[in-house]
């Protein structure tokens, strides 16, 4: 069967990958609202607040990201923003996912497939 399967614990769903990539792009400005906005702007698809926060919680539980509370702000009614950053395990899982996509795309001619539609 060739290479052994990667640990399922490291498996990332598509939306998890997108959230991790948004966090990487946003760097120090990665909090719920900006993550959602980045996803919507760059993927041209709607991301519900609930889906984003559920995914952030799941990624944090897996140890792929960590979060910290920012300062409370008047513009948010005294509530603090929760900022997210990728941890080593998250970067590794993302690298594995990207490598798997690259392996799957090797030799595929997407241009040819567009003409089948």
Q: Which domains does the chain have, with CATH numbers?
A: 12-114 (1.10.10.10)
Split at pLDDT 50, 70, 90, the class of 4 is very low
Model confidence at 58: pLDDT above 60: yes
Rounded Cα distance, 94 and 82, in Å: 22
Show Cβ contacts of residue 46 under 8 Å, excluding neighbours closer than 6 positions. Answer: 40
The mean pLDDT value for 80-109 works out to 93
Model confidence at 84: pLDDT above 70: yes
Model confidence at 5: pLDDT above 70: no
More confident residue, 59 or 75: 59
Mean pLDDT, the chain, as a whole number? 87
What pLDDT, on the 0 to 100 scale, is given for residue 107? 81
């Amino acid at each position: 069967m060739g290479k052994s399967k990667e640990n399922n614990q490291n498996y990332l769903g598509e939306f998890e990958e997108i959230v991790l990539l948004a966090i990487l792009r946003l760097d120090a400005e990665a909090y719920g609202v900006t993550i959602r906005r980045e996803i919507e702007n760059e993927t041209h698809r709607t991301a519900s607040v609930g889906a984003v926060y559920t995914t952030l919680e799941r990624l944090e539980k897996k140890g792929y990201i960590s979060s910290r509370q920012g300062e409370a702000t008047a513009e948010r009614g005294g509530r603090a923003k929760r900022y997210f950053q990728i941890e080593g395990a998250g970067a590794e899982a993302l690298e594995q996912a990207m490598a798997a996509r690259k392996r799957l795309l090797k030799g595929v001619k997407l241009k040819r497939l567009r003409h089948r539609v």
